[in-house]
Structure 1
Amino acid sequence: MGEIKKLLITAYGDAACVNQELGSITAMINPASYSLSYKAEYGLSEESAASEPTQIFKGMGHSDFNLDLLVDGTGIITIPNAATVDGYITLLTNLIFSYQGNVHRPNFLKITWGNLVYRGVCTSLTTNYKLFNADGTALRAEVKLVIAQSLDFKTKKQKSKKSSPDLTHIRTVKAGDTLPMMAYRIYGDSSYYMEVARLNGLSSIHAIRPGDELYFPPLKKA
């Protein structure tokens, strides 16, 4: 019989969950189940006096991974990464949900278990305490997580396989590049640099380094 593989949550500083690993935590007890939900966004066509509705595709919508983790401090199983139920929950929360002041956002996450590989960000964390010691400290808790799918722009473009010249541009920052200069090369107008900075989540227009991958959106037609 092979070794039991525990569900693993790994935090990253980069959206692709490849280069900037920040730490990881395993499930104490593997979940009995999890759920994945996928949504697509549609809008009704706007022709007048339509006899029947026609749904117009707008884009892929919000997708969620729902997971319940049991944390048990009764001594039946050793708590990984921490000695107590509260200690484990604190480690988990700091890793997957807490605001990281150095990057001004929570961490990106990759969940792996068996054939499952899911990348995203934690949008909800709820802890239900089930059992207590005589002194009030927690002996058992259930942590409910909602992880919203999030792909980096480069991976998303590769998966979509679109070829229109009006669509997404991904560019790698080279030595000497500035955001206005890159915007000018793509759009012929450097004034779009603020919008590019906003869409890439940059804290400053100067917060780019050689090797960074930046997303340059298609221009809206007038």
Structure 2
Amino acid sequence: MISGLLGIIDKMRIEVFPTKEYTEPPSKTIFVQVNPEKYSLRHGVDFNEEQALGTSGSSLKFNRINSEEASFEFLFDSSGVIPPGKIKEGKGEESLLDKVSDITDAIKPAMVKPFAEVEAIEKEVEEFKKLLMGYNGETHETSFLRILWGGYSLDCRLKNMEIEYTLFRKDGRPIRAKVNCTFKKTIDYNLMLAVENKTSPDLTHQRTAKMNDRLLLLAEDIYQNENYYIDVAKANGMLTFRNLDIGQKIQFPPVK
């Protein structure tokens, strides 16, 4: 409320997580120097194209829905005109004092020191790159990220990064850079299964028998038809379908 009255702008932040489950607190939080002017989202569907010989068209068969991709352009500037970005340990929520400090830094008149050398931006860009795409030798994975900006949230991995340097010191070292990043949405496998709830009878399923499970009821649950339980018994080489052993793996083949 107070920050809104003061005209304080919430900075986009990127949280860096140690594991794909996102259950532990982030190890680092990046607050960008300047919020992006825009971002783009990409959604796609993959099809298998089947075309018969001698025909002019193809039949599209659904393969999969691709994960969401989001693209942003980040600005890095060490000239002193723009307050610097921040990298904080852990979740690193910005306090109201931090935000007020950003405003006072932004409205300060630029102090020109004729004999001072402006810092190059390479170090900041390299640290940003290392956090977003750094390789972990223990997990053999690159970083797991969460982008937060206003009402937008995305658990993702960095897909690609393009760095463009646009302003330079007299010695040729850069003091401004534009970093274009594309992030691809990621989701934990178990959560994905729960969300998609793949119970289609056209897919192969496996169940682990629990106490009091009955093959007839399991078949009805998957196929929406109890009559397939005999086919399931045959597919699993069962001599009897009346009693299931606890922990027994049962394959339910697709309906043809």
TM over 0.5: yes
Larger radius of gyration: 2
Secondary structure at the aligned position of 2:194 is classed as helix
1:163 equivalenced with 2:199 (yes/no): yes
Residue 139 of structure 1: aligned partner = 175
Aligned to 2:69: 64
Amino acid at match of 2:12: L
- Given candidates 40, 47, 55, the residue that maps to 2:45 is 40
The one of 133, 152, 160 aligned to 1:124: 160
Per-residue deviation, 1:123: 1.7
* 1:76-104 deviation line (CA, Å, top 9, x unaligned): 12212377522221221111112122222
AA of the residue aligned to 1:166: T
The answer to whether the Cα contact below 8 Å between 1:14 and 1:20 also exists between their aligned partners in 2 is: no
2: CA distance between counterparts of 1:78 and 1:146?
25
State the AA in 2 paired with 1:153: Y
Which consecutive unaligned segments of at least 5 residues does structure 1 have? Answer: 170-184, 189-217
Aligned length: 178
Q: Specify the alignment match of 1:209 in structure 2.
A: none
Question: 5+ unaligned residues in a row in structure 2: which ranges?
Answer: 88-118, 208-246
Deviation at 1:18, TM superposition (A): 3.1
1-structure distance, mates of 2:46, 2:206: 19
Shift of 1:151: 1.1
Structure 1: 4+ residue segments shifted above 6 A: 46-51, 218-221
Q: Aligned partners of 2:14, 2:206: CA distance in 1, in Å? A: 30
Distance 1:18 1:66, change over 3 A: same
Separation in 2, partners of 1:135, 1:46: 59
- Aligned equivalents of 1:219 and 1:98: distance in 2? 42
Work out the CA distance in 2 between the residues paired with 1:22 and 1:168.
Answer: 37
**Contact 1:79-1:85 within 8 A present in 2 as well:** no
